[in-house]
Every structure is written in C-alpha cells, then in structure tokens.
Amino acid sequence: MAVTQSVQPKDASTTRIMITISVMLATIMQALDTTIANVALPHMRGAMGTTQDQISWVLTSYIVAAAICMPLTGVLAAKIGRKRLFMWSIVGFTVSSILCGAAQSLDQIVFFRLLQGVFGASLVPLSQSVLLDTYPKEKHGSAMAMWGVGVMVGPILGPYLGGLLTEYYSWRWVFYINVPFGIIAWLGLAGFLDESKLDKKRRFDLYGFVLLGVAIGSLQMMLDRGESQSWFDSLEVTIEGLLALVCGYMFLVHIFTHDQPFIEPKMFRDRNFSIGMVFIFIVGIILLSSMALLPPFMSSLMGYPVVDIGAILAPRGFGTMAAMIIVGRFANKVDARYFITLGLVLITFSMWEMTLFTTEVTAWDIIRTGMVQGMGLGFIFVPLSTISFATLDPKYRNEGTAMFSLLRNIGSSIGISVVTTYLAQRTQINHAAFADYITPFSVPLQMAQEQGSYNITTTAGLAAMNAVVNGQAATLAYLQDFRLMMWVTIAALPLVLLLKGSAKKAKS
C-alpha cells in the first residue's frame, strides 16, 4: 500500500508535465502564426509576382477562417471528444503549414492559409481548457501562467523569428518551422491526455453557427480591408459592415429564444466570466496595437532594418514572461485584482513614456518601455485568465475558452484597424497644420534658406521641405496613437472594481 502511494503522485506528476509541454507547444505554434508571416509578405509578393493588395489575403484568409471556426470548439469537443479534436487540429495545422511552405501560387497559399486557420482555431481554447482540467483549482494560477507564455509571447516574438528565417533562409521556413512543434505536441497528447466525456445528445445549432460565422467573418473582413479600401467609401466594406451588424443582432436574438442555442447564454450570468470577456477584449486591443505601430515607426522614420527591429522588440516578450513567472509563484497568495491593477498601471506608464518619443529616441528607450509594457500585459493576462474561469461551471469550459480567445482576437483586429486609421488621419491633419507655418515670412525658414539648407523657390527644394513636414506630421501622429492607447488602458481600470475576488477568495 505504501508503494502504491509513493508511485501514484509521480505518475500523475509526469503525466501533468507531459500534457503541459504538449499543450504549450501547440499554443506557441498557433500563436506564432498570427504574426510570423507578416514579415515575410514582401518576399512572398516578389516570389509570386502579386500586388500588395493581393498578397494581403495571405493574412486575411487565416484571420477570417480562425475567427469563424473558433466558436465551434465547444460543440465539436462535446461531439467527438476533446482529445480527438485536439489531435486532429494539430495534424491539420501541421499539414497545412507544410502545404503553405510548398505553395507555388497566390491561390494555393491563400487556400492553404485558410485551412491553417480552420484547423488552428481550436488549438488555443483547447489548450486553456485542458490545462484548467489537468491542474487542481489551487494551481490554476500557475497553469494559466504557463499557458499565457505561449499565447502572449508568441505574437511578440513572431516578427523577430520571421525576420531571421526570411533574411537568412527563405520565407517558406516561416511555415516549415511548425512541423517539429506539431509532431512533438501530437505525440505528447496521444500518449498522456485522456479523452473527455462525449455528449451525444447535444444538437448542433446550424442556424446559430451560420449567423455567428457570417457576423464574425464580415467583421474581420471589414477590419482587415477597411483601411486599404477607404472604409465606408467602399461598397465592399459597407456591405461587410451591414452583414456584421444584422447577423450579429439576429444571433443575439436567436441564442436567447432557441431551446438549444449554439452558444449557451447561461454562462454569461457568471459575473467574473462576463467582465473577463470585456477585459480580454481590451487586452487584445493593447497587445497587438503597439506592435503594429512600432515596426513602421522604427523602419520608416528611424531607418532600422527588419532584423534589428525584431531584436529591439523581442525583450518585450521577456518582460511578459518575467511577470507571468511572478504571478504563477504568488497566484494563491495575492488577490488577482491587485495584479490586474498593477498591470494596467505599468501599461499606462509605458504608453505615457512612448508619447514622449522622437525620431532621436535610443534603442534602449524602446527596449525599456517595451519591457515595462510586456510586464504589464503579463500581470494582467494570467490572473484575468484565472479569475474569469474561477466560478464558471466546468461544463462551459470548452465554450468559455473559445469565447475568451475569440474576444481577444477580435479586440486585436479592432485595435490594429483603429490605430492604423487614426495614424493616417492624424498624419494628414498634422501635415495641414504644420504647412500653415511654411510661409515666406517665417523667420526660421528665412534663416534656413540663408544657410542654404532649403530653397523653396525650386521644385527640388519644395519636395525636400515637404518630406520634412511629412516626417514630422507622421512622428506626431504616432505619438497621438500611443496617447490614444494610454487612454484606452486608463478606461479599463474601473472594470477591476466589478470583479469578485481571486479564485481562492471566490471559493470561500
């Protein structure tokens, strides 16, 4: 009997470790692909002879397919089993990654990226659900810390890794790199993860899924295509916006009136879960928005090459990992709300510092503010992931984690669209404001002409002056975007007051 007691914990511990490693690899594999292909787009465009608008479908197809299929996670896991769904998703994602790397035309790579999005949609929600069920409730904070490393650090390190692979090997390797991750993750899950209980009685609400799928797909298309198509001046974007609005409204009416809806509205009665959905949406806005702004700021205004940009931005991921390690260590001792508040304060401070940037800012200043911002995100994401599911009925976990990931992705899409549109608008407004000061009566301009720096009487001189005004207008627009993100972060602070205590306190 004594021998049995000594062996059992070891076996359980080994199983838990192997499941964690496998789940982490699957999470990192999917999270990397949200950003790793971005850097390779110019090389793909050159290899396939396409326009900028055409090659952007490599990103759009993946984002839209993943967004539409993510809500399917819960019902598919109930119908065919969570382990089976997880393993088939890994196989499909890995194979479609190989096909993306081997694609010879734009049509092929767009189709294979669509498949990649379909199979990858379930990986992150299933990873979170598996870890929550694998670890006891008192260790959920540590489990979410490990899971959060893959979810948060993957998109941050993606551009750096993509830049290295594209620069020194080929753009095809940004897809081939998924193969070893996929094989090891599949073997680990096959050997150590138990199958979940099936729910054969659960009906598939096709009408609800179609409404939600069209709403999400149209919204993602509108956000992705809006900037390049001049937003609602375009008939395409207007139709997509109307579809998203109408189908989204019909879906809400449907789930509250159908006896077996596609998404069970009862899970939103849990206050922590509902507030967590709003919070993770805001985190999604912050997570990728600054990452969408800094690379072009450093490239177009400061003249950094792609590889150097990746190296300077990568430490932000180390800040996130450091915060997650701290949270995982003290998750059961400190109320999650304190960590979330600290994270929001750190992000606000880093965004404020970024509003003071100039084109003369040093690489260390960018690294330092990035690490502070990364730590802020780490302090928010792990306790938020824990507290959102602390009081939610376990039977809603698969659907809940899918919605959690979906809201984060939609937040990221909206955030990127907002900051890029705001950047373009503010650049034009700033240019017009600065141009008002360029007059023959301007004393600084007269001094510059006397010194031979500019000559506004010639076409070349006017072009040089316009380039300077453009640069200054764009610089100020980036700073205004950083200020906008700072106010978004500050606006999220009152939500902390609506959360109940941490998992430990909520239980008592």
Transcribe 303-351 into DSSP letters. ---HHHHHHHHTHHHHHHHHHHHHHHHHTTTS-HHHHHHHHHHHHHHHH
Residue 346 has pLDDT above 90, yes or no: yes
Q: CATH second-level architecture of 266-500?
A: Up-down Bundle (1.20)
CB atoms within 10 A of CB 345: 15
Q: How confident is the model at residue 52 (pLDDT cuts 50, 70, 90)?
A: low
Predicted confidence at residue 487, as pLDDT, reads: 92
Predicted confidence at residue 408, as pLDDT, reads: 81
Cα distance between residue 65 and residue 75, in whole Å: 17
The tens digit of pLDDT for each residue in 386-425 reads: 788 878 887 777 778 888 878 887 887 788 778 888 888 8
Q: How confident is the model at residue 443 (pLDDT cuts 50, 70, 90)?
A: low
Predicted confidence at residue 56, as pLDDT, reads: 67
The mean pLDDT of 448-470, rounded to a whole number, is: 69
303-339: b (≥16 Cβ within 10 Å) or e: ebebebbbbbbbbbbbbbbebbbbbbeebeebbbbeb
Tokens of 126: 């299933």
Is the separation of the CB atoms in 119 and 197 below 8 Å? no
| CATH T-level assignment (fold) for domain 13-201 | Growth Hormone; Chain: A; (1.20.1250)
Cα distance between residue 465 and residue 435, in whole Å: 10
Is there a common fold for 13-201 and 266-500? yes
**How much is the mean pLDDT over the chain?**
79
Q: How confident is the model at residue 65 (pLDDT cuts 50, 70, 90)?
A: confident
- Across 35-44, 199-208, 391-400, 444-453, least confident range: 444-453
- The residue extents of the domains of the chain are 13-201, 205-261, 266-500
Cα distance between residue 236 and residue 256, in whole Å: 31
446/215: higher pLDDT = 215
Tokens of 16: 């838990």
Cα distance between residue 326 and residue 507, in whole Å: 22
